C-alpha cells in the first residue's frame, strides 16, 4: 500500500503551504476562503524559470493569494514524446516559488490528479486544437484543457495566469472558459526571453551547447519578419520568406511550421495586420522549441524580467 505523496523538504515559512494531496489542498483553500481572500492560480509543469516566475508577479497584482501548481500532465504527451525525461525538481521549484512570494504550492503526484487512472470524461478542445502545434501533436491540447479544467475545479481560482509563449494554449483556455461559463478570469503574461532573445522554456535544458547557440535563430527569424512588417510589408508570404531566409543561416534549426495567423481564430491570414500572430515551432536534434511574435506590438518581448504592467487580459466570465 502506498504511504502517500513523498514529502517535500522546505524551511517552514509562516503563511506558505505545500499541498501534495487534494485533501491538503482543500484544507488550505478553505482557510483562505474563510478569510474572504481571492486566489490567483499559475498552472505549471515545474522546472521553473523566470518565465514562470513572471506569471507569479502578474498573479500577485490580481488576487490576494497566489497558488502555483506543479504537475507534469501525462495526458498532454503523445507517444514517443518526452514525458519520462521531462525535467523535474520539486524541491527546487518550491524554493523558487516561495522566494517569489507564492502562498500555496499544489504539487500532486499522478495518482492524486487521476486517482482512477486516465479519466473517462475529458474536455474536447475542438477545431482550434487542430491548428499550429495541434497539427503535429495530436491529442496534446485535449490533455491540456482537460488538466486545466480539473485544476480549476480543484482550486476554484478567481484568476488564472498563463504565459504568451504557449500562445495557442492561452487561446484555447480563454475559449474553454468562455464557452463553458467557468467562473475564472484569464490573464496572459508576457513572453520572457533569455538575454539573446531565445524564449525561456524548461525544455531548453535539453539543448547541447551548439544547439543552444543556434536556437536563437528562431526568434531572429520572427524578429526579421516583424521588422519587415513595421517597414510596411503586408504580404504574409513575403514576411514568411524573410523569416525563412534568416533560418537558412541556422542549419540546426529544423523548422516544423511557420504561420501568420489571426490572434483569436488562429486561421492563416491573406494580409498581414497589426496584432496578428507569427508563430513557429522547430526541432534542434530531439528538442522541440516554439516561439511567436505579435506583429507591430510594442514592449511584449522582454529580454529580462518583464515590465510589471505588461500583461494582457483574456476573456473571463
In the chain (317 residues long), the average pLDDT of successive 10-residue segments reads 49 75 97 96 98 98 98 96 96 97 97 96 97 97 98 98 98 98 98 98 98 98 98 98 98 98 98 98 98 85 40 36
Q: Are strands 159-163 and 39-44 parallel, antiparallel or unpaired?
A: parallel
Same domain, 210 and 140: no
Kindly state whether residue 237 falls inside one of the protein's structural domains. Answer: yes
Q: How far apart are alpha carbons 46 and 97 in whole angstroms?
A: 10
Same domain, 133 and 207: no
Phi, psi of 213 (to 5 degrees): -65, -40
Q: How far apart are alpha carbons 6 and 275 in whole angstroms?
A: 46
Nearest residue to 109 via CA among 158, 161, 49, 46: 46
Kindly state whether residue 163 falls inside one of the protein's structural domains. Answer: yes
Q: How far apart are alpha carbons 63 and 39 in whole angstroms?
A: 5
CB 197 within 8 A of CB 221: no
Same domain, 281 and 148: no
Is-catalytic flag, 49?
Answer: no
Kindly state whether residue 299 falls inside one of the protein's structural domains. Answer: no
Per the structure, the count of domains in the chain is: 2
Residue-number span of the structural domain to which 113 is assigned: 17-192+308-313
* DSSP 3-state of 69: strand
- Residue located via cell numbers 513595421: 230
In terms of residues, how long is the chain? 317
Same domain, 66 and 154: yes
How does 168-204 read in b/e, with b if 16+ C-beta sit within 10 Å?
A: bbbbbbbbbbeeeebebbbbbbbbbbbeebbbbbbeb
Q: How far apart are alpha carbons 62 and 195 in whole angstroms?
A: 28
Kindly state whether residue 10 falls inside one of the protein's structural domains. Answer: no
Same domain, 183 and 214: no
CB 172 within 8 A of CB 265: no
pTM for this predicted structure: 0.90
Three-point CA angle 231, 236, 239, nearest 5°: 50
Please pick, among 52, 62, 142, 250, the residue that the annotation labels catalytic: 52
Amino acid at each position: 500500500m502506498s504511504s502517500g505523496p513523498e514529502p517535500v523538504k522546505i524551511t517552514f515559512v509562516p503563511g506558505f503551504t505545500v499541498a501534495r494531496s487534494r485533501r491538503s489542498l482543500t484544507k488550505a483553500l478553505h482557510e483562505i476562503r474563510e478569510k474572504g481572500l481571492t486566489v490567483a492560480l499559475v498552472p505549471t509543469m515545474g522546472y521553473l524559470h523566470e518565465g514562470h516566475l513572471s506569471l507569479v508577479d502578474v498573479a500577485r497584482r490580481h488576487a490576494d493569494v497566489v497558488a502555483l501548481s506543479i504537475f507534469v500532465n501525462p495526458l498532454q504527451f503523445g507517444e514517443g514524446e518526452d514525458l519520462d525525461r521531462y525535467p523535474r525538481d520539486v524541491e527546487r521549484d518550491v524554493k523558487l516559488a516561495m522566494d517569489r512570494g507564492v502562498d500555496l504550492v499544489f504539487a500532486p503526484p499522478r495518482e492524486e490528479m487521476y486517482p482512477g487512472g486516465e479519466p473517462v470524461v475529458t474536455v474536447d478542445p475542438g477545431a482550434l486544437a487542430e491548428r499550429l502545434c495541434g497539427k503535429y501533436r495530436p491529442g496534446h491540447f485535449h490533455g491540456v484543457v482537460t488538466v486545466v479544467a480539473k485544476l480549476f475545479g480543484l482550486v476554484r481560482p478567481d484568476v488564472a495566469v498563463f504565459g504568451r509563449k504557449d500562445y495557442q494554449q492561452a487561446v484555447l483556455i480563454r475559449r474553454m472558459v468562455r464557452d463553458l461559463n467557468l467562473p475564472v478570469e484569464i490573464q496572459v503574461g508576457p513572453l520572457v526571453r533569455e538575454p539573446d532573445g531565445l524564449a525561456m522554456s524548461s525544455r531548453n535544458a535539453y539543448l547541447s551547447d551548439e544547439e543552444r547557440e543556434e536556437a536563437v535563430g528562431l526568434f531572429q527569424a520572427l524578429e526579421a519578419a516583424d521588422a519587415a512588417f513595421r517597414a510596411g510589408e503586408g504580404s504574409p508570404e513575403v514576411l514568411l520568406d524573410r523569416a525563412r531566409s534568416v533560418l537558412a543561416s541556422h542549419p540546426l534549426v529544423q523548422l516544423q511550421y511557420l504561420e501568420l495567423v489571426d490572434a483569436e481564430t488562429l486561421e492563416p491570414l491573406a494580409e498581414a495586420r497589426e496584432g496578428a500572430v507569427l508563430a513557429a515551432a522547430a526541432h534542434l536534434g530531439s528538442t522541440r522549441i516554439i516561439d511567436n511574435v505579435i506583429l507591430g506590438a510594442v514592449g511584449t518581448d522582454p529580454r529580462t524580467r518583464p515590465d510589471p504592467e505588461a500583461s494582457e487580459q483574456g476573456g473571463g466570465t
